[in-house]
A and B are shown apart, each in its own frame.
Chain A
């Protein structure tokens, strides 16, 4: 069965600190996709990144970076020099590549609530 674990329920950091959000996944598929979404207090889930299981290169986008380690089934997300606007709930998600359903079935983790204190 597929599963996504985000062990950190809540994290608080002071502005300008770096913070890493952990994501561990379980799947029997050899081909799969991983995602991160950000949910600010307004409610919308904002798509941040999509990564397939064959691409283990780390990705950097501005202050955001992602570390994909297939050996440990982890897809961690780091925010460098955090800002107050980064305060949100962050969700990690997993999608199968060989679909067993007729639609994109995405398994979401429980989310990590990040508070950046000024």
Chain B
């Protein structure tokens, strides 16, 4: 059983839809991340939250809106996406505050298809 769980695992949405991806970590970590993995492209870091505060936003379009209500939960709200946003979205967490070089643990990912 993974320490980071993501729902839904698969999502198909139209370009005018609003949907959300949910992530929950059971590891007691302080930092949570959203990564995007597109076909034939490297992993892209989208957002980082440390103690529920956003500390990184890598020039992500506003149609992606993250939310971190507490240190265990992370959401990615999706609105008016484009077909090129179709990808695997990976949530991850790490201990963060206990020094650098912490291992980042990933969830199983949410496969998103925008039609």
Interface residues of A (CB under 8 A from B): 32-33, 35, 37, 42-47, 50, 52, 91, 95-99, 101-106, 108-111
Contacts and interface: CB of A to CB of B under 8 A. Distances in A.
Contact of B106 (A45, A98, A103): A45
Contacts, number: 66
29 contacts: A32-B101, A35-B103, A35-B104, A37-B106, A42-B109, A43-B90, A43-B108, A43-B109, A44-B2, A44-B107, A44-B108, A45-B92, A45-B106, A50-B101, A52-B101, A95-B101, A96-B100, A98-B100, A99-B100, A102-B50, A102-B55, A103-B31, A103-B48, A103-B96, A104-B31, A104-B100, A104-B101, A108-B43, A110-B42
A106 B108 CA distance: 18
A110 B92 CA distance: 18
Contacts of A33: 100-101
Contacts of B109: 42-44
Interface residues of B, number: 26
B103 A47 contact: yes
Contacts of A105: 45
A42 B96 CA distance: 27
A103 B56 contact: yes
A35 B50 CA distance: 21
A27 B56 CA distance: 22
A50 B43 contact: no
A104 B105 contact: no
A108 B42 contact: yes
